[in-house]
Structure 1
Amino acid sequence: MDNSDDSKCSALPQRVIISFLGFLSIVVSFLMRGCLSIAITEMVVPMNSTASSNESINTAPMESSSMDGTRYNWSQEQQGYILSSFFYGYLITHIPGALLAQKFGGKWTLGLGVLGTTICNAATPIGVWYGGYVALIILRVMMGLFNGSMYPALSVLLACWVPEKERGKLAAFVLGGAQIGFLISFYVSGLILSHFPWPVVFYFWSGVAAIWFILFALICYNDPESHPFISKKELAYLELEIGQLKRHNNLPSTPWKEIFTSVPILVLIIAQVINDYVFYVLASDLPKYMKEVLKFSVADIGFYSSMPYLLMWIVSLVAGFISDHLISGGYVTVTQARKFFGALSSVFPSACTLAASYAEYNKTYVVLWLTLCFGFQGCYYAGLRVNILDLSPNYSGPIMAVINGIASFSGMAAPTFVGMMIPDSTLEQWRLVFIVSFGISMVRTIIYTVWASAEIQPWNDRNKSPESKNLTGNTDDCMIKEILE
């Protein structure tokens, strides 16, 4: 079937609109998740203004009140706990979120999760004012609890709307929202912090997220069949390509045993854990490195720490298009494409990380190498990330929950380990952080390249008999082709 015919069925296909809403859901989530990494550089007293980097917790205001941008005496280790606390809640709600999305659909599971995150983020300045360090950690844990359902719910939504031949580019576009979220969050937060007290950052991004929620609630639908404005031609195309227009409400219980014993899924878990560790080392601590080692101003921190995410997003889109072209043209199998882009997202970035560690205080070279590191990590979306949808479209939510949930331990561990490795925040201590990242990235490359697979697992359609599938398939396909013609 010529896919170009379908594009003429409407000015903008509904699957593209749904994908764009999904993209924005990740953007606003990461706007709120990422702003603390910048804001914390203004929330704490500079190291040369404190008696010791290991000073005990001080939740008392240093000047007047935190509502006016007061700074606090939080040590490097304490800041590590703050930056990692989001993931303590995040990992808990992945599987419950997946089950809710599987049963009720991805729309409200995703929407209400982001709404809860928004409320907690808006409450951050007040929480710090009244409860200091402890209250901030509690609020970040709560944000993680609400946000943990995002990726599982989004996987369920995408599985209902995105056919396999478009999965590389659309999934890369949607899931690449994390890079745009971090990019905008870092850059704009830096600008805000250079003119306003740090509480303004949290209020601003929560307002943006609230606008998204209203838009999402009005125009998003769980599946093509329930969408009131979708064209008949797009419906026919999606039924032919995906095989269904409505979510499976009669799926048997989630095959947890098969999921946890599937070699491709176990490989994805290991690869994702390692990938996320390296990513969150940079995502959470790059602004601190720029301020404490390279001595950038807060405005410069926002700009230079956002540029890597722009390149990463561009690379993720290009990799997605190339992957789809190679697969649809028959040049490579789906598995080969996933392995190639998975390796590319690890080997080159890990080498750039190592190069950055030896650029010392040369700001230009450090920024260049770290930007290239982030940029080529964008290939990860056409490799590991979309691989989750390949293995079992019917159970993409639970699979995403398992993989992303376990990988959340990396988000907890990375800032904490970095805080322990850089008690004095010296160049030598940071170099050790980058060398460790390089080593484990190479381990990920070997494991994923050898054992990864993109084959649909046999238990994906265990509720369907081959006979019933064949009986309905011939008649339905003929009707669908008539509509498309």
Structure 2
Amino acid sequence: MDALQSSKLSDGIDAPLWMFWKRRRYVLVMMTFLGCTVMYTMRVAMSIAIVAMTENRTISLENGTVGYEQAFDWSSPIRGHVLSSFFYGYMLTQVPAGILANRFGATNVNNRMGITAVLTLLTPLCACAGFGWLIANRVLQGMAQGVCIPSIHTGWSKWAPPSERSRMVLFTFAGVFVGTIISMLLTGVVSNLWGWQSAFYIFGSIGCVWFVAWFLTVRPTPEKDPFITIKEKDFILQSLGITEGESDKYKHPWKGILTSKAVYAIIVAGFCQNWGFYNMMTQLPTFLKEALHFEVQATGSISALPYLAMGITLSIAGYLADWFQIKGIMTTTQVRRNFNCLSFLTQAIFMTVGAFILKPIPTIACITLAVSMGAFAWSGYAVNHLDLSPKSAGVMMGITNTVSTLAGIIAPVVTGSLTTHNRHDEWRQVFYITAVVNVIGLVVYWCWASGELQPWSLEVQERNRVCESGEKQEKKGYENRLSIVD
């Protein structure tokens, strides 16, 4: 069922949308939003804290003179490796997470967030123990967080009606930017007040609280949720074309996935979008301090501006994407393609202009506009997996995120290598490279993207349905033979 047909159905709940607790699918939206928020507070904290960890601090020496010292004497390339090490682990668990979430339930796999919270609490201890311990901690955090996004996508394949898909998915992902904002704003402040360690203790503790709340309130499917109304459950299942009691067993169409141009369009778009996103997330505080000469406390609040703008834009983009489909103004393919490519084009333009000017206020404005327009890309490629094959959405998201994570590994290292002296011409190269990557993503996605349910997905669904029907008939025949014997 497409978005237009789904919009004609009703969940039978007479309550305004803002009363999210009245609808169980919206409770899931809120919990995943909070989960993404907490996840990114823990992830981004290092990007701000590393500035405080490596800055020169004034100290009074025994002879009465004033000197300087650093908590950690790390060069720019070493800082780049610390920031990118998270992604070494992150990319390892993406595809397995999609497979396991489909088999054991997204909520069970997503429990790994609790591990991330504990590792965040241990980050200061590992940093003081040695560089190797910190890298190991960051890699393990990446592995634990790597399961989350594919698991969430698998959950939406069972909970999100097509007419609400873009809004629900993008509201969830808004937590990414809210978490980034919170972390960028607070990490600098608390590092200044209580030391760089305090941010990890605060965000790790909040992560533990969220984990307990998630475990108590969320269920993997509408059918297994004891608190859902019958009407809402029927509305969701009917919208998704699922029969109650249908088996969760599903053989993924690997050949179709790995040979589909539409899937590769998503993969390339994800890599290109995340090149700029991860580069700004990890390197923007350093850029503001070293190239534009802001104070550490100011770098956090200014770095948060682009993500505040993106969080706002994301909600607008999600609403517009669903609205254009529900009103029949655009097909799903047109929405995904137009939104995604508009985003890449404007990001490339603003990055180029910002690099050319490279003055505090105009450059920050250009970065803010570029990052905020990334929201429209998320309305394209980030939701697209659910269009092509809902039951394999988690696996495809895992593949996309695995490749996208390479951007998180490569971009900070490239930036660190290019900006060893923090000269303006070095940072211009970083911005120009990001603009070129965006143009590549634009061209590939425009040529190959699709928003339609793929033939290879339909074929496998039908085959699984036939097999399941045969198993039921065989079981029924066996039970009949037993009754005759008795």
Same fold (TM over 0.5): yes
Match of 1:217 in 2: 215
Does the CA contact (< 8 Å) of 2:11 and 2:235 recur in 1? no
**Per the alignment, do residues 249 and 88 of structure 1 end up closer, same or farther by CA in structure 2, a change over 3 Å counting?**
farther
How many residues are aligned here?
A: 449
Match of 1:316 in 2: 314
Classify the secondary structure of the residue corresponding to 2:92.
coil
Which amino acid counterpart does residue 432 of structure 2 have in structure 1?
I
Does the CA contact (< 8 Å) of 1:160 and 1:246 recur in 2? no
- The 10-residue stretch of structure 1 (235-244 or 36-45) with the greater mean CA deviation from structure 2: 235-244
1:276-425 paired onto structure 2 within 5 Å: 276-360=274-358, 362-425=359-422
Of 26, 46, 52 in structure 1, the residue corresponding to residue 36 of structure 2 is 26
Residues 81-101 of structure 1, C-alpha deviations (whole Å, 9 max, x = no match):
111000100111112211211
Of 6, 10, 16 in structure 1, the residue corresponding to residue 12 of structure 2 is 6
Deviation of residue 244 (structure 1)?
2.1
Which amino acid counterpart does residue 25 of structure 1 have in structure 2?
G
Which amino acid counterpart does residue 39 of structure 1 have in structure 2?
A
Does the CA contact (< 8 Å) of 2:98 and 2:394 recur in 1? yes
- RMSD over aligned CA atoms reads 2.2
Does the CA contact (< 8 Å) of 2:84 and 2:413 recur in 1? yes
Deviation of residue 464 (structure 1)?
2.3
**Per the alignment, do residues 186 and 414 of structure 1 end up closer, same or farther by CA in structure 2, a change over 3 Å counting?**
same
Which amino acid counterpart does residue 322 of structure 1 have in structure 2?
L
1:80-119 paired onto structure 2 within 5 Å: 80-111=80-111, 113-119=112-118
Residues 5-52 of structure 1, C-alpha deviations (whole Å, 9 max, x = no match):
634279521101101111111111111110100000011134999xxx
**Per the alignment, do residues 248 and 287 of structure 1 end up closer, same or farther by CA in structure 2, a change over 3 Å counting?**
farther
Distance between the aligned counterparts of 2:199 and 2:270, measured in 1? 30
Of 427, 451, 455 in structure 1, the residue corresponding to residue 452 of structure 2 is 455
Classify the secondary structure of the residue corresponding to 1:95.
helix
Residue 208 of structure 1 pairs with residue 206 of structure 2: yes
Identity of aligned residues (%): 29
Which amino acid counterpart does residue 102 of structure 2 have in structure 1?
Q
Deviation of residue 187 (structure 1)?
0.7
Match of 1:474 in 2: none
Match of 2:64 in 1: none
Deviation of residue 323 (structure 1)?
1.0
Deviation of residue 359 (structure 1)?
2.4
Match of 1:482 in 2: none
Classify the secondary structure of the residue corresponding to 2:452.
coil
Classify the secondary structure of the residue corresponding to 2:353.
helix
Which amino acid counterpart does residue 173 of structure 1 have in structure 2?
F
Of 428, 435, 439 in structure 1, the residue corresponding to residue 436 of structure 2 is 439
Deviation of residue 424 (structure 1)?
0.8
**Per the alignment, do residues 174 and 467 of structure 1 end up closer, same or farther by CA in structure 2, a change over 3 Å counting?**
closer
Classify the secondary structure of the residue corresponding to 1:244.
coil
Distance between the aligned counterparts of 1:467 and 1:223, measured in 2? 19
Does the CA contact (< 8 Å) of 1:15 and 1:162 recur in 2? yes
Deviation of residue 459 (structure 1)?
2.8
Residues 163-199 of structure 1, C-alpha deviations (whole Å, 9 max, x = no match):
1110111111112211111111101112212212000
Match of 2:4 in 1: none
Distance between the aligned counterparts of 1:221 and 1:324, measured in 2? 26
Does the CA contact (< 8 Å) of 1:193 and 1:298 recur in 2? no
Of 45, 62, 78 in structure 2, the residue corresponding to residue 35 of structure 1 is 45
Match of 1:483 in 2: none
Residue 170 of structure 1 pairs with residue 176 of structure 2: no
Residue 154 of structure 1 pairs with residue 160 of structure 2: no
Match of 1:79 in 2: 79
Residues 255-286 of structure 1, C-alpha deviations (whole Å, 9 max, x = no match):
22221111100111111111111111111100
Residues 138-162 of structure 1, C-alpha deviations (whole Å, 9 max, x = no match):
1100101111111111111111110
Which amino acid counterpart does residue 86 of structure 1 have in structure 2?
F
Distance between the aligned counterparts of 1:110 and 1:414, measured in 2? 27
Residues 187-244 of structure 1, C-alpha deviations (whole Å, 9 max, x = no match):
1112212212000010000011111111101000000011111111111211211122
**Per the alignment, do residues 169 and 247 of structure 1 end up closer, same or farther by CA in structure 2, a change over 3 Å counting?**
farther
**Per the alignment, do residues 383 and 376 of structure 1 end up closer, same or farther by CA in structure 2, a change over 3 Å counting?**
same
Q: Which runs of no fewer than 5 residues in structure 2 stay unpaired?
A: 1-6, 60-67, 470-486
Distance between the aligned counterparts of 1:119 and 1:186, measured in 2? 20
Does the CA contact (< 8 Å) of 2:39 and 2:207 recur in 1? yes
Q: Which runs of no fewer than 5 residues in structure 1 stay unpaired?
A: 50-61, 64-69, 472-485
Does the CA contact (< 8 Å) of 2:87 and 2:405 recur in 1? yes
Does the CA contact (< 8 Å) of 2:237 and 2:244 recur in 1? no
Distance between the aligned counterparts of 1:419 and 1:101, measured in 2? 36
Match of 2:55 in 1: 45
Classify the secondary structure of the residue corresponding to 2:194.
coil
Which amino acid counterpart does residue 38 of structure 1 have in structure 2?
I
**Per the alignment, do residues 303 and 86 of structure 1 end up closer, same or farther by CA in structure 2, a change over 3 Å counting?**
same
Distance between the aligned counterparts of 1:118 and 1:250, measured in 2? 30
Classify the secondary structure of the residue corresponding to 2:462.
coil
Match of 2:473 in 1: none
Distance between the aligned counterparts of 2:465 and 2:81, measured in 1? 55
Residues 69-124 of structure 1, C-alpha deviations (whole Å, 9 max, x = no match):
x611100000111110001001111122112111110002012x211111111111
